[in-house]
Amino acid sequence: MPKIRAAGLALVTAAALSGGTLTAAAPAFAGEQCTPQTSRSYAQTSSAWWLIAASGTVQNGKAKEVREEVSFEKSGTRTTTKSGDISASVGVLVAEINAKGSYSVNKSVTYNKGRKTTIVVGPHSTVHYKIGIKKRKFLATQKRIYSNCKIVTTYGTVTAADNTTSTS
């Protein structure tokens, strides 16, 4: 059986005729193949108030409930950003952070001065509240697998806007 060399790659072809079935062997030096894919993971590194639109305390001594209308004292917009070598858009990063963790970050959050909301407090209770935007920072790790099975890991930071109401 003849050996065939093409472009420096040795191919061995074997054919056997047995019972009417023709069988051919695969190339002798076939390279490893992987399915290309990209995955990202996120770890929160910090969280702090970015903008406090309203804060205060509501007390209820004996009533069934106390409802207090609160006006936002500040206006502002905060937008999620990314830095580093992460290839996805901010919208994709926000969706992945929310899906992979217990967060509800947004691409952008706006508060307008004068807007109102209501705080409801049950009997014999005191509620301290803050309403605004938290800045959550995440370390983003991106792992990319190429068709030749090469793996490249890159890192970046996502600074995300989180619309937050905190009570205690």
Decide: 153 and 95 in contact? Cβ < 8 Å. Answer: no
Q: Within 13 Å of residue 165, how many CA atoms lie on the same side as its CB?
A: 8
Low-confidence ranges of the chain (pLDDT < 70): 1-30
What's the DSSP call for residue 139?
E
Q: Give the torsion through C-alpha atoms of 99, 105, 109, 115, to 10 deg.
A: 100
Decide: 113 and 72 in contact? Cβ < 8 Å. Answer: yes
Amino acid at 38: T
Residue 159: per-residue pLDDT:
98
Residue 8: per-residue pLDDT:
32
Residue 30: per-residue pLDDT:
57
Residue pLDDT, tens place only, 45-85: 999 999 999 999 999 999 999 999 999 999 999 999 999 99
100-119 burial, b at 16+ Cβ within 10 Å, e below that, comes to eeebebbeebbbeeeeeeeb
Distance separating alpha carbons of residues 155 and 142, to the nearest angstrom: 6
Please state the domain extents for the chain: 1-30, 37-58+73-114+128-167
Residue 31: per-residue pLDDT:
72
Distance separating alpha carbons of residues 114 and 31, to the nearest angstrom: 65
Distance separating alpha carbons of residues 80 and 4, to the nearest angstrom: 59
Please state, as a whole number, how many other Cβ atoms lie within 10 Å of the Cβ of residue 147.
Answer: 12
